[in-house]
Structure formats: C-alpha cells, structure tokens
Structure 1
Amino acid sequence: MGSIDKRNRLDEEVFTYRVSKNNTVFIDWNGKQAKMLKGKEADKLLKKIDQANSEKDVQLLLAKVTGNFKRGNERKE
C-alpha cells in the first residue's frame, strides 16, 4: 500500500461512514457527506470493511468508493 498513499493522507482518517437501519451507507469526508450507497453496493462495501486488517485499509476502501469527488472548489472552514 506504500505506493498508493504517498502523501500519507489516509493516516489522518479523513473518511468516516455511517450505516442506517435499512443498510444505507453514508460516507463522509471531513464531516461532509461525499457519497451514499444502497443495496448490493453497500453490502459489498460493508463486507470489505469487515475483512479489512487496519483502519488505514478502511480509509483506502472509503477513498476508492468515493472516487475523485474533489474538484478544488471545497471551502476551508
């Protein structure tokens, strides 16, 4: 994984996730919602998270699922 996270951004744990009662997964980046998954996609992600070895692996999974959502216009609050 060393070549994937060269700047060690995932060590900061910028991604979090929440699971609702109906298995909808909400993925947040720095406290703001970045993506929402339902159905088979959500089940697949939760299964991968359960099998993850470390918190950094979970962060990498969440980063991959959200994709390239940042476009440079995010506000710094």
Structure 2
Amino acid sequence: MPAPEGFDYDVRGGEVVISHHGRRATVLRGTAAARFLDDVGDGDSSSDQELMARATGNYRRGNERTAKDHPRNKGR
C-alpha cells in the first residue's frame, strides 16, 4: 500500500484545517484539534501524512481489490 501524500494543515484560531492537494478535506475543532497538534510534527514526514489521512478518513482500508469483484460493483 503506498504511503499517503499531499496532505497539509493550517491552524486558524482554535481550528485545524486539513487539506489534500490544496482542497479542504476536514476541519478539526476543540479537543480533536488539540490532540492532532500534540501528535503531529512538522507535517512533512510520512507518519504525519498518515495521521492527516486518518483524520480525514481518506486512507485505504485494504479491501479495494475484493470490493471491485463484488457482484454489485460489476460494470462500474
């Protein structure tokens, strides 16, 4: 599985705005924002990219190949 890339974050007041390839993906507020800022480093390492991907829900779950072969997904 390739490592996530293209995530960036910006702190605006009490909010953390996470973007993916320049488009806003999610906004964290309150304790979620504080916990994220405690965990993240400079934002460029692969672990920080993984953290941002998980915060946005934009990460692979490992079942894409089997889901592709499911009967309801045929022809998509």
TM-score class normalised by the smaller sequence = 0.5 to 0.7
In structure 2, distance between residues paired with 1:68 and 1:58: 14
Measured after TM superposition, the shift of residue 25 of structure 1 is 0.2
Q: Which runs of 4+ in 1 moved over 6 A?
A: none
Q: Where in structure 1 are there 5+ consecutive unaligned residues? A: 1-5, 70-77
The number of residues matched between the two structures is 58
The answer for the alignment partner of 1:65 in structure 2 is 55
TM-score by length of 1: 0.66
In structure 2, distance between residues paired with 1:37 and 1:31: 17
Q: Deviations over 1:8-54 (max 9, x none)?
A: 4x2xx31000001x22100001100000011100000000003x8x7
The answer for the alignment partner of 1:39 in structure 2 is 30
Q: Where in structure 2 are there 5+ consecutive unaligned residues? A: 60-76
Q: CA RMSD in A?
A: 2.0
Change over 3 Å in CA distance of 1:7–1:29 after alignment to 2? same
- The percent of aligned pairs where both chains have the same amino acid is 31
- Partner SS, residue 51 of structure 2: helix
Between Structure 1 and Structure 2, which shows a larger proportion of strand residues?
A: 2
